[in-house]
């Protein structure tokens, strides 16, 4: 019996990451919605900021929020923290098993930068730590006192990181590290700021002291950041399935568009939940749709197609020679790459008929997406991609 240990570990961790991520995002979205839905009403207890009535599951719920804290501690206090911790832990473990364990295939692209395995891993780990430190210092600096300036600062931080990653790692490795860095910031916000501040408030109450209101405001600021980063991070984490995102020569700009689009969508829901109507909410979703159209057009542009427009088309034999040199180490009935016992997804290019049958896959993955060969391990050149794409687009002439 052959057990594919790496694949099973990957599957278990991915499932666990999905489960814990749903739990964290669900509770996060709920509490942001709840906070924005609170309303002041006559007769509320002293210190209550607002209240909300809800109906769900056949019953009614009545929730009050104290802006700082109630006068005394309740007997039962429910905390929401482990969802965030386990989401980060499973995500980091998944990063290790997929991108660090198989760094040569998924993280390193010699055509971008010729890195050793441990060099690439150490750069990745250091970037996660550095991203949090820079973000945290920014929040605690005078910039952190202005919501607008801080938002611009966080956006610039993400863009600088994206530019750096795309000039060091493979396309998919770069995108996953942008997502991992932002995800680390989000989890660290919970671990280092939100929960510790809440514990300080609880300790003050138990000691009979008045809690510091600044602790709650700081925690709310970080929680709001997490809320706006969630949608972009989700797309970053699944980006490895969509080569048109990470394969572009200027894919760091795609990161910027994803941040803006995700932020606009989140802002629409937050504004609407806060009671915004009319012009206050009319522009966000249309702007996000325009941004998505720009993203699709930008990511789909292939400069090689324009460059080859007036060039002669290579022959079918030439196209087959390129594919057999660069692709059949994996995509063959008898793969020579030691990482594969059989052709991935059963796709084989052993003869011209198989190549023609899979031409659109080749165009998407190797020409437009540049995701294949995996890690460009066979060193397929840009000229070869251009020639092969031109041949496919011209109908694969003999």
The answer to whether residue 240 is domain-embedded is yes
Both 208 and 253 in a single domain? Answer: yes
Helix (H) or strand (E) holding 51: strand 48-56
Q: Quick one: pLDDT at residue 96?
A: 92
Residues 188, 320 share a domain: no
Dist CA 128 CA 131 (whole Å): 5
pLDDT in tens, 158-188: 999 999 999 999 888 999 999 999 999 999 9
Question: Same structural domain for residues 175 and 225?
Answer: yes
Domain range for 146 is: 85-300
pLDDT band at 361 (very low <50, low <70, confident <90, very high): confident
How much is the mean pLDDT over the chain?
Answer: 87
pLDDT band at 294 (very low <50, low <70, confident <90, very high): very high
Does residue 344 sit in the same domain as residue 234? no
Cα–Cα distance measured from residue 175 to residue 190, given in angstroms and rounded to the nearest whole number: 23
Mean of the pLDDT values across residues 282-290? 94
Distance linking the first and last C-alpha atoms of the chain: 45
Give the tokens for residue 15.
Answer: 């499932």
Query: Got the DSSP string for 149-193?
Result: HHHHHHHHHHHHHHHHHHTTS-HHHHHHHHHHHHHHHHHHIIIII
* 139 pLDDT tier (thresholds 50, 70, 90): very high
Say yes or no to pLDDT of 314 above 90: no
Mean pLDDT of 148-152: 90
Whether residue 296 sits in one domain with residue 315: no
**361/341 Cα distance (integer angstroms):** 21
Q: How many domains does the chain have?
A: 2
Question: Does 233 lie in the same domain as 97?
Answer: yes
Q: How many CB atoms lie within 10 A of CB 305?
A: 14
Mean pLDDT of the 5-16 span? 85
Burial group, residue 276, by CB count within 10 angstroms (0-12, 13-18, 19+)? middle
Q: Give the length of the chain.
A: 398
Query: What is the model's pTM?
Result: 0.82
pLDDT at position 4, please?
62
Q: Assess if residue 50 is contained within a domain.
A: no
Cβ atoms of 245 and 254 closer than 8 Å: yes
Asked if residue 361 belongs to a domain, the reply is: yes
Last residue of a domain, which of 276, 300, 324?
300
344 and 215 share a domain? no
Q: Residue 335 CB: number of other CB atoms within 10 A? A: 17
Which tokens is 340 given? 């594969």
32 is a domain residue: no
Q: How confident is the model at residue 228 (pLDDT cuts 50, 70, 90)?
A: very high
Whether residue 155 has pLDDT greater than 90: yes
Same domain for 313 and 248: no
**Residue 16 covered by a domain:** no
Cβ 88 vs Cβ 183: under 8 Å: yes
Within a 13 Å sphere around the CA of 156, how many CA atoms are in the beta-carbon half? Answer: 9
pLDDT tens digits along 11-29:
899 999 999 999 999 988 9
Last residue of a domain, one of 273, 300, 327: 300
Q: Which of 278, 300, 322 is the last residue of a domain?
A: 300
pLDDT of res. 277: 86
- Whether residue 93 is found in the same domain as residue 175: yes
The answer to whether residue 24 is domain-embedded is no
HSE toward the beta carbon, residue 119, CA cutoff 13 A = 10
**Residue 68 placed within a domain:** no
Asked whether residue 102 is domain-assigned, the answer is yes
Task: Examine the domain organization and report whether 341 and 194 are in the same domain.
Answer: no
Which position has the higher pLDDT, 211 or 289? Answer: 289
DSSP run (H or E) holding 66: strand 59-66
Backbone dihedral region for residue 108 (phi beyond 0: left; psi -120 to 50: alpha; all else: beta): beta
- Give the pLDDT confidence score for residue 142 in this predicted structure: 92
* pLDDT of residue 2 exceeding 70: no
For the cut 70, the answer to whether the pLDDT of residue 107 exceeds it is yes
pLDDT at 304 over 70: no
Judge whether residue 1 has pLDDT over 50.
no
Instruction: Work out the percent of the chain whose per-residue pLDDT is above 70.
Output: 96
Q: Which of 160, 159, 158 is nearest to 183 (CA)?
A: 158
- Per-residue pLDDT averaged across 251-264, rounded? 94
373 CB neighbour count, 10 Å cutoff:
19
* Residue 345 to residue 364: CA distance in whole angstroms: 15
Q: Considering only 47-56, 268-277, 299-308, 333-342, which range has the smallest mean pLDDT?
A: 299-308
**379 and 261 fall within a common domain:** no
Does 115 lie in the same domain as 248?
A: yes
């Amino acid at each position: 019996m052959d057990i594919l240990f790496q694949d099973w570990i990957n599957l278990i961790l991915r499932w666990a990451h999905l489960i814990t991520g749903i739990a964290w995002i669900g509770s996060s979205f709920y509490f942001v919605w709840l906070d924005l839905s609170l309303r002041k009403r006559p007769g509320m207890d002293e210190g209550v900021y607002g209240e909300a009535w809800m109906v769900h599951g056949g019953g009614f719920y009545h929730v009050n929020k104290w802006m700082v804290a109630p006068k005394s501690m309740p007997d039962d206090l429910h905390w929401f923290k482990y969802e965030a911790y386990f989401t980060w832990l499973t995500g980091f473990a998944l990063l290790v098993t997929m991108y660090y364990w198989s760094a040569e295939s998924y993280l390193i692209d010699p055509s971008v930068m010729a890195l050793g395995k441990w060099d690439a891993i150490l750069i990745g780990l250091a970037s996660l730590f550095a991203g949090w430190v820079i973000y945290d210092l920014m929040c605690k600096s005078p910039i952190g006192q202005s919501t607008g300036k801080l938002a611009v600062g966080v956006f610039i931080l993400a863009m600088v990181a994206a530019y750096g990653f795309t000039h060091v790692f493979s396309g998919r490795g770069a995108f996953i590290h942008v997502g991992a860095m932002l995800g680390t910031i989000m989890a660290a916000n919970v671990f280092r700021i939100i929960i510790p501040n809440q514990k300080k408030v609880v300790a003050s109450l138990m000691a009979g002291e008045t809690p510091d209101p600044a602790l709650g405001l700081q925690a709310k600021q970080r929680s709001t950041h997490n809320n706006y980063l969630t949608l972009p991070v989700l797309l970053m984490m699944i980006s490895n399935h969509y080569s048109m995102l990470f394969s572009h020569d200027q894919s760091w700009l795609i990161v910027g568009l994803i941040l803006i689009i995700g932020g606009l969508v989140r802002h629409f829901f937050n504004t609407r939940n806060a009671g915004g109507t009319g012009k206050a909410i009319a522009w966000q979703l249309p702007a996000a749709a325009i941004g998505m159209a720009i993203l699709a057009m930008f990511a789909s542009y292939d400069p090689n197609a324009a460059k080859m427009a007036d060039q002669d088309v290579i022959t079918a034999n030439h196209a087959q020679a390129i594919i057999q040199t660069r692709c059949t180490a994996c995509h063959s009935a008898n793969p020579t790459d030691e990482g594969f016992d059989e052709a991935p997804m059963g796709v084989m290019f052993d003869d011209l008929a198989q190549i023609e049958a899979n031409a659109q896959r080749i165009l998407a993955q190797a020409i437009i997406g540049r995701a294949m060969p995996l890690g460009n391990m066979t060193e397929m050149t840009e000229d070869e991609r251009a020639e092969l794409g031109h041949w496919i687009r011209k109908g694969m002439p003999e």
